Amino acid sequence: MANKSVWSDNRFWQRSATWVTGFASLLLIWLTFDTMGQISMGNDADIQNGVTKRVPGPTVINYKITYEMSPTRGHEVPIIGGNDGKGHSLFKVKEKFFGRDDYSEKEARALLHLGKLGEQAKNCMDCHTLLGNGAYYAPDLTKAWLDPAWGANGPMQTMTGKNTKEEAMAEFLQHPNLYPTHARMMPDLGITAKEAKGLVAFLKHMSSIDTNGFPRNFGRMKGAVHGK
Ligand code: HEC
């Protein structure tokens, strides 16, 4: 028995299993807390202090949001209120949202809440994908706000007869059957003007979330509406 190999010793395997399980448990606990920190929503104070949160506070709807290549990370990241030239948000450049760029945290939060309820009630995920959840029948909505089709040079403002991105999107959401731009048409879901405003705020906020460049190649699509 003196020469028994360590590999055939039961106690060696029992101890290894205990250590591995213990280490994995600690790692999972640490990762859980790390993730909670990463995905919890910021607030207006973060934005005022120039602190970039992965999920920015609701008042992000007062700012211009763009999607720009980060040279250090190798994919596009949401830039809020202007780029400092190094790929970080400045939180300075504002953009009117339905005529205002001074929504308080309370007002913005209420608007996003309305949008979230609308999104759940009308089941957008039956057809669309939001942050990786949902269906692929219709365009991914995670970065829909940044889709160039809604911008000043895109077709959607002209088509809906509106002068701003948010009004064009709200008009489309209320009467999608009037603006069929795809092989597939979005049905009229009976969305009211108030709900549409909340939904567009919800989509604008969602586009500001740093999703590590997901969905991939978004910036290189010619616009989801004219995806082909
Ligand atoms: C029954 C399926 C269906 C449901 C439910 C649905 N949509 Fe759509 N949606 C579509 C289709 C199909 C298109 C593409 C239509 C087109 O381009 O004309 C679309 C297009 C869009 C667009 C334009 C996409 C882009 O990238 O610019 C937005 C924004 C949008 N939907 C938002 C919503 C929201 C918000 C909801 C929930 C309130 C919703 N949709 C529910 C099918 C659906």
pTM of the entire structure? 0.89
CA of 169 to the centre of ligand 1 (A): 10
Question: Both 18 and 122 in a single domain?
Answer: no
What is the pLDDT, as a whole number, of residue 29? Answer: 97
Residues with CB under 6 A from ligand 1: 118-119, 122-124, 126-128, 138-139, 141, 144, 147, 149, 169, 173, 180-182, 184-187, 189, 199, 224-225
Domain count, the chain: 2
Tell me the percentage of the chain whose pLDDT exceeds 70. 93
Which ligand 1 atom sits nearest the alpha carbon of residue 179?
18
With 0-12 CB in 10 A as exposed, 13-18 as middle and 19+ as buried, what is 97?
buried
Residue 54, in any domain of the structure: yes
Looking at the domain assignment, is residue 228 inside a domain? Answer: no
> Within this chain, do residues 16 and 98 fall inside the same structural domain, yes or no?
no
Is 1 among the domain residues?
no
Alpha-helical segments (H) within the chain: 10-39, 44-48, 105-121, 155-160, 165-174, 193-207
* Domain membership flag for residue 4: no
pLDDT of res. 86: 87
Together in a domain, 76 and 168: yes
The amino acid sitting at 189 is L
Q: Does residue 155 have a cis bond before it (omega within 30 degrees)?
A: no
Give 76's contacts (C-beta < 8 A, 6+ positions apart): 67, 68, 69, 70, 213, 218, 219
DSSP string, 69-86: EETTTTEEEEEES-B-SS
Pair 87, 128 in one domain: yes
- Residue 227 within any structural domain of the chain: no
Residue 28 lies in a domain: yes
State the Cα torsion 205-210-214-216 to the nearest 10°: 100
Please check whether residues 22 and 50 belong to one and the same domain. no
Q: Are residues 118 and 142 in the same domain?
A: yes
> Which of 128, 165, 182 to probe ligand 1 with, by most ligand atoms within 8 A of CB?
128
182 and 198 belong to one structural domain: yes
**Is residue 222 pLDDT above 70, yes or no?**
no
Q: What is the CA radius of gyration of the chain?
A: 23
| CA 189 / ligand 1 centre spacing (Å) | 10
Residues 165-189 have a mean pLDDT of 92
Same domain for 31 and 107, yes or no, is no
CATH number at 145 reads 1.10.760.10
Residues 30 and 48 in one domain: no
pLDDT at 227 over 70: no
Residue with the smallest CA separation from ligand 1 atom 3 is 127
Instruction: Give the mean model confidence (pLDDT) for residues 167-174.
Output: 97
Ligand 1 atom index nearest CA of 225 = 17
Residues 34 and 145 in one domain: no
Please give the pLDDT value at position 62: 98
Give a yes or no: residue 24 inside a domain.
yes
Chain-wide mean pLDDT for the chain? 92
Provide the residue range defining the domain that includes 31.
Answer: 10-38
